[in-house]
Structure 1
Amino acid sequence: MTHPDYGYGLWGLALVNAAVFILFAFSFFKPATKRDWRSFGAFSAFIVALFAEMYGFPLTIFLLSGWLQSHFPGVDWWSHDAGHLLEMMFGWKVNPHFGPFHVASFVLIGAGFWLISAGWTTLHESQRHHKLATTGIYARVRHPQYVGFILVMLGFLLQWPTVLTLAMFPVLVVMYIRLAQHEEREALATFGEDYRGYMQRVPGFIPRLKASASPAGPIDGPSA
């Protein structure tokens, strides 16, 4: 591109940012099983696709350039700040990095990584004692790490939506739900009514506003 304010083509920066976020997630999630690696690999693909457009080539801007230019003629769509599509389209008169969508994205991303970290900490402790994880964050939701990955991806979608990541997001959400269902079938086969009772007490993905009156206690056995 010969556009004077063209803010892309920074493939080294795209690689570094993708690597930082993937390694950051890896340090919390620590995949061990094939299922873990599959879910982590899908999340990594989402991150790579995101930063490839954020710093490499703006495929979404390129595909929508005609429509964007005709509907929002006052925006320089080839500048890097214009990649914050929601901020640009809603016309917030502030730096897009301080706009409401960008701030909300940081909240979601931070909450997501906290859930991944808190989930792994509880899970690791339960594994050390050969018990099923039902305490800590697992007393509020049964699949905190999957919820964490979904929140991180949703946060990035608010911050820098792209055609590819928008297409990937529902596919990955369905994948995480199916992985959770597969894990629960295994847990039910192993723990039977004990795990069924845990499922009745604790929601899978969306925590209740009010904690259960009878919190789940630890259950002997391998972690799910």
Structure 2
Amino acid sequence: MTEAPVPESITDFRLFDGKNSPQNIAVYGFGLGALFGASVILATTVHTPIPQFWLFLAALGAFHALEYIAIALFNPTKLKLDSFLLNHSPEYTTATVSGITEFLIEYFFFPQMKTWGLLNKIGLVLVIVGQLARTLAMFSAKSNFSHHVEYYKEDHHVLVTDGIYSLLRHPSYFGFYYWALGSQLMMMNPVCFIGFAVVLFRFFSERIQYEEQLLTRFFGQDYRNYKARTSTGIPLIK
């Protein structure tokens, strides 16, 4: 009696190998969902002196999960495990770790800085508004949205000017800008708040200028007209 062959899917069962495999998607999705759920519970139903820290972790979980979901729904041909944006760039990782580190250091040495008050609530509102704007941008643009700059106009590319794009010219950038600054205001991280503001302004001012050169090349006068009647919503970047 011959032994039944072992299914290839079992022998190739690998995790964290960078491939967009079902097991990796499941583990990443479960991890982000668990982070979001546990953090919301700790922030809202458990007596904690630092709800803002748990709300920040919940915001992180929601942000990365929604990034993947949007690409999976509307741009599946470009879907990768990197669409979670967990390892987006060394700069992003450094910024996230810096925010957490600053909060913990200041909470240990200056706990009076980390009480929950009006500024924390304003920061939370900015996080929510930023996330909603970015998610609406991805859902409005559909297959036209990409995590990377598109250097060539593809056949399916159209100039999106409806929905949130009728109000903001780069709503995904607007969303991330206020999400990031709001997260640091919510955690009352003065050093990271200032650092984020400087770095994000420099990055988006250069990125938007470059992208708009490409978009003008793609869509010509239509984009010039669209640009003239809309704003980025980011201070000092028209």
TM-score bracket for this pair, using the shorter chain length: 0.5 to 0.7
Residue 131 of structure 1 corresponds to: 158
Residue 52 of structure 1 corresponds to: 101
Residue 212 of structure 1 corresponds to: none
- Output the aligned Cα RMSD: 3.8
Alignment partner of 1:132: what SS? coil
Which of 188, 197, 206 aligns to 2:225? It is: 197
Q: 1:76-109: per-residue Cα shift (whole Å, max 9, x none)?
A: x2x4xx342xxxxxxxxxxx32x11111111100
Alignment of 1:54-73 (within 5 A): 54=103, 57-58=104-105
How far residue 49 of structure 1 moved from its aligned partner, in angstroms, is 1.6
The answer to whether the 8 Å contact 1:157/1:166 transfers is no
Letter in 2 for 1:46: A
The answer to whether the 8 Å contact 1:101/1:158 transfers is yes
How far residue 185 of structure 1 moved from its aligned partner, in angstroms, is 0.3
Structure 1: runs of 5+ lacking an equivalent: 1-6, 66-76, 85-95, 208-224
The answer to whether the 8 Å contact 1:113/1:148 transfers is yes
Q: 1:157-216: per-residue Cα shift (whole Å, max 9, x none)?
A: 222214245223311222012111111000111211111011112122259xxxxxxxxx
The answer to whether the 8 Å contact 1:105/1:158 transfers is yes
Which of 127, 133, 145 aligns to 1:115? It is: 133
Letter in 2 for 1:172: L
Could you tell me how far apart the structure 1 residues matched to 2:164 and 2:120 are? 27
- Closer, same or farther: CA 202–125 of 1 in aligned 2, 3 Å: same
Residue 180 of structure 1 corresponds to: 208
- Closer, same or farther: CA 19–150 of 1 in aligned 2, 3 Å: closer
The answer to whether the 8 Å contact 2:63/2:131 transfers is no
Q: Which moved more, 1:19-28 or 1:195-204?
A: 19-28
Letter in 2 for 1:148: G
**TM-score, length basis structure 2:** 0.55
Q: 1:43-76: per-residue Cα shift (whole Å, max 9, x none)?
A: 454222212333xx51x578xx6xxxxxxxxxxx
How far residue 27 of structure 1 moved from its aligned partner, in angstroms, is 3.5
Matched, 1:171 2:169: no
Letter in 2 for 1:116: R
Alignment partner of 2:161: what SS? coil
Alignment of 1:1-224 (within 5 A): 20=61, 23-24=64-65, 26-27=67-68, 30=71, 41=89, 42-54=91-103, 57-58=104-105, 77=110, 79=111, 82-84=112-114, 96-97=115-116, 99-124=117-142, 126=144, 130-160=157-187, 161-205=189-233
Could you tell me how far apart the structure 2 residues matched to 1:156 and 1:149 are? 10
The answer to whether the 8 Å contact 2:123/2:186 transfers is yes
Could you tell me how far apart the structure 2 residues matched to 1:147 and 1:185 are? 19
Letter in 1 for 2:181: L
The answer to whether the 8 Å contact 2:131/2:176 transfers is yes
Q: Number of paired residues? A: 164
Percent pairwise identity: 24
Q: 1:111-132: per-residue Cα shift (whole Å, max 9, x none)?
A: 0000110000011155695312
